[in-house]
Copies of this chain bind each other. A is one copy, B any other.
Amino acid sequence: MEILLEFFNRFIAQVQSPTLAFLIAGMVIAAFNSKLRIPDAIYQFCVFMLLMRIGLKGGMAIRDANIVEMLLPAVFSAILGIGIVLLGSITFARLPGIKKDDAFATLGLFGAVSGSTLAAGLMMLEGAGVFYEAWVPALYPFMDIPALVTAIVLANLYMSKEKGGAGAKVAIWPIIKDCLQGAALTVLIMGVVLGLITKPEKVFEGFFDPLFSGFLSVLMLILGIEAYKHLKDLAKVAHWYVAYAFVGPIVHGLMGFGLGYVAHLLVGLSPGGVIMLAVIAASNSDISGPPTIRAGIPTANPSAYIGTSTGLGTPVAIAVCIPLFLALGQMVFGF
């Protein structure tokens, strides 16, 4: 009982942080029909600033890091990305009233990773003074790409079977290329490379780092407004999508926490690293994923997969899962 209470207190302390407050504020003002709109150009610049800062910081820190440490967590990330989609395909996708292609599209997004959730998670860890390995943000593509590829391949296999086809081959390389060319992964990878091979310390310390928390709060506000707008889409689709958006991120995050704990025991992944693996697993794609899914599963209904992911999945990942797994980490590792 006392443990539950302590857990609850830690959880509440995280919810009061400005990052979450701006997310909730965005949902509230959208609910009140406010005419406030943050221009799309500012949204894109926020995303650029956050991922560039995360990438640069990672790149600069990786210089002195032992990259071999990253191997097992990277493999676990890929297993999580594929596993989340497979788990969903034998549970969520078989529920009554769920169209298969809509289901695979949704599963792909929930297996993939969100740059904003990643940024919010890192901010929360840094605010709480919890150490994490510098290369943790670089796990992003190792989970993101396998999830999207698995979902698109499964959807296409299913559809060609439906048509009575003998199982048409799905080209995997174009999907991977599409992921890597997306804005989010481009900026993240570019940041890591620039941090690794050039000397961006001055511009990092004078620009990208000090503006990080500010642009994150602006982005949270935008995500809140967007989430509320997409919630309406969910009224048009089966109620199971709502249930999945609540349960999915928590289950996926627990899977991430579990595999992270294994990595902690086997190769000494830090507590902060375990928490971030859980957060990345809990997150769902909101920037790069949707266009890739739209191209790969053109018959799926965007109201279903974008509504579920942007409307509910992202707020749940940020407002529930980040404080939840930080609190869980603090309990498990005792700090």
Q: Which residues of A contact B (CB under 8 A)?
A: 16-18, 21-22, 25, 28-29, 32-42, 44-45, 48, 127, 180-183, 186-187, 190, 193-194, 197-200, 202-203, 206-208, 210-211, 213-215, 217-218, 291
Contacts and interface: CB of A to CB of B under 8 A. Distances in A.
A100 to B, nearest CB: 28
Contacts of A45: 38-39, 42
B190 A29 contact: yes
Nearest to A26: B190
Which 7 A-B residue pairings sit nearest by Cβ, starting from the closest?
Answer: A207-B214, A39-B41, A21-B198, A41-B41, A34-B186, A18-B200, A36-B183
12 contacts: A16-B199, A17-B198, A18-B199, A18-B203, A21-B194, A25-B193, A29-B186, A32-B180, A34-B182, A37-B183, A202-B213, A203-B217
Given A25-B194, A41-B41, A213-B207, A35 B182 contact: yes
Contact of A198 (B16, B190, B194, B203): B16
B217 A213 contact: no
Contacts of A291: 35
Given A34-B186, A39-B44, 5 more contacts: A18-B199, A22-B194, A32-B181, A38-B45, A203-B213
A183 B36 CA distance: 4
A193 to B, nearest CB: 7
Contact of A213 (B180, B206, B215): B206
